[in-house]
Structure 1
């Protein structure tokens, strides 16, 4: 059976290094039929041009702070049956598309979303959720090893995250894509509700994982401290006007505002923000909310078919390989990983020290995955604090932990103590 053609859309503004790292990971996806579309500012497109596979990418210049408009430009160039989205400060696991696209074999499925790991590469930043008319989310209990197709229920829509989601192009284009009134925040949540109102089903795919960094942008610092809350306030106003009963607007806004103030106070207690920042940012939130009430958000025009055909991304299928060793051998093993990348392979490097240090996973810009930590320490944070084990047994257990997402074979590669 031929794979469903997928268009992968990456939008970027002001983060050229993150973009090239993301695209290096996208280029290693183990999937038979996908194209790559990048919507970026001049700085991002210049950085992208240095990549060896840049000629295979559909490049769309755009330098405006509006993520919905950016994504819509990507949809306009997409010729795949499904459009997948990943943020520039994220990197997908090698098997991301393989898993994410699986639910679309069922005709009722209009969208799908995967799980998102946070900065340490282990803890989950986002799992399965539903969302109500006020934009408040609740967790959904799903099997963490297999996809599930869900329908919305009265008062709640199935939630997907913009950094790890896919939508059937025919439906997405007919709906007009994302609403440009959401320049930042709640853009995908608005789409979730529009899909729910249309009666469409959504697949939740736990093994379709991306690693998300939450890098700095115009709205937040690298420590996730807000720089400005006006766009968030504006998006809340637009969302409530579109999806929340009018009699609940005031209550919903007060609850959201209180939550934002508590968030800022926590940053202040930790020393990430000054006392004066709280008042300034809250004033910006209120100003944005008032401005958002004046934004137009009507019916969206359908997005036409892509003028160019499907530009399949070509790479020789090489598969993943495993490298492992003691932490003090890291320099030599990293050089070996880089040589394997040059040969077209996707290395997973495991570095263990004789400690109980918690594990971390990162994707190196050179094109390989690296997991480091104590031989006796935790990887998943629910594990015991200490577990006595041999090197080979721990390595086998960690390979098994990531193999489904990364499409690794347990016996691939080489290992040395």
Structure 2
């Protein structure tokens, strides 16, 4: 296996996650495939930046730097990309810990020179200690985790999920960085979709690019108590619809919704059927899960309809943003409330419908 040299970028924004941040960094430093460096990008919080700088002042493999762009996750990631030295840049959420072979699995994927991005599997760590009985696994993307419906092993996908993902540096040189104005801004709104838009833009710039998810590259993502409640579920699925409208406006409904069609016509109906069957068998949460799937679909559809009307009425305003040296200018939306992250819907490899070669099971 060749050594691509992987830089890890962790974007942070609040001291409330201090212990989580330390745990995330520790998990990177304990990798069986050592990271070239770990970059902590602090989102406009000088107190947190100074505290982290003191905590890691005696380390050579951890660097702390401020977000050089506008507030938000996308600009923080772009700052990390520009400051990193690795041939591959991996991203880890600040409230997640990576398993020991996380980076090794990423590195294995890049043995194929066509591979431009590799993502992994994200498992939830519920604050209450267990999954709420009503919460359907098909909607785990709501909490930033891998959802039921993705095929197992190492498979070709349309887009990776940003909290557990990696890209070749040449991917950013070809397509530019993450579009700001789309991604999450601290705890203000449950936004996202920046990785979906980037991946679609990447495959347009490089039609030969291969994007993979390897379910053996595992991280464990903490789910705080407020996100275990239906109110967050409803808000997040509604924002998903707003986001998908923006993506469809930007890249066209054909590409923007291609994977979602399979998800809504096959994966979700099967989930409803399982929930109703469990309810008939008096198993806990069956009816709740079926109802939550229906509610989630309706909420997302409402957000999509409103987002489409807004886009038609107001248009989508774009302005150039900085990108890593060598990249093409990307554009950021100034549309209010652009929406939330799209789930990383997987597709089988083009042509044969089989997983990409070298796949395995976690």
Deviation at 1:158, TM superposition (A): 2.4
SS in 1 for 2:116: strand
Larger relative CO (CA 8 A, sep 6+): 1 or 2?
Answer: 2
Deviation at 1:71, TM superposition (A): 1.1
Show CA shifts across 1:206-261 (max 9, x none).
21100011347xxx746474396686555333211023339x99xx9xx99xx9xx
Task: Identify the residue that residue 23 of structure 2 maps to in structure 1.
Answer: 21
Question: Greater CA radius of gyration, 1 or 2?
Answer: 1
> Residue 304 of structure 1 is aligned with which of 310, 316, 325?
325
Task: Identify the residue that residue 243 of structure 2 maps to in structure 1.
Answer: 235
Task: Identify the residue that residue 51 of structure 1 maps to in structure 2.
Answer: 55
Q: For the Cα contact (< 8 Å) 2:174–2:202, is it kept in 1?
A: no
What pairs with 1:237-316 in structure 2 (closer than 5 Å)? Answer: 237-245=245-253, 294-297=315-318, 302-304=323-325
Against the structure 1 CA distance between its residues 113 and 34, is the aligned structure 2 distance closer, same or farther, given a 3 Å change threshold?
Answer: same
Deviation at 1:95, TM superposition (A): 1.1
Indicate whether 1:201 and 2:210 are aligned: yes
SS in 2 for 1:158: coil
Question: Equivalents in 2 of 1:172, 1:6: separation in Å?
Answer: 15
> Residue 119 of structure 1 is aligned with which of 125, 132, 137?
125
Q: TM-score, normalised by structure 2?
A: 0.59
What pairs with 1:15-414 in structure 2 (closer than 5 Å)? Answer: 15-17=16-18, 18-41=20-43, 42=45, 43-52=47-56, 55-56=59-60, 57-62=62-67, 65-119=71-125, 139-143=149-153, 147-148=154-155, 150=156, 158-183=158-183, 184-197=191-204, 198-199=206-207, 200-215=209-224, 221=227, 223=229, 225-226=231-232, 232=240, 234-245=242-253, 294-297=315-318, 302-304=323-325
Show CA shifts across 1:6-55 (max 9, x none).
11111122243222221222222222342111111324424423535664
Question: Equivalents in 2 of 1:122, 1:4: separation in Å?
Answer: 38
Show CA shifts across 1:332-372 (max 9, x none).
xxxxxxxxxxxxxxxxxxxxxxxxxxxxxxxxxxxxxxxxx
Deviation at 1:82, TM superposition (A): 0.4
Calculate the aligned-residue CA RMSD, in Å: 4.5
Unaligned runs of 5+ in 2: 142-146, 184-190, 269-284, 290-299, 328-360
Greater helix proportion: 2
SS in 1 for 2:32: coil
Unaligned runs of 5+ in 1: 130-136, 151-156, 260-265, 271-280, 307-403, 406-417
SS in 1 for 2:181: coil
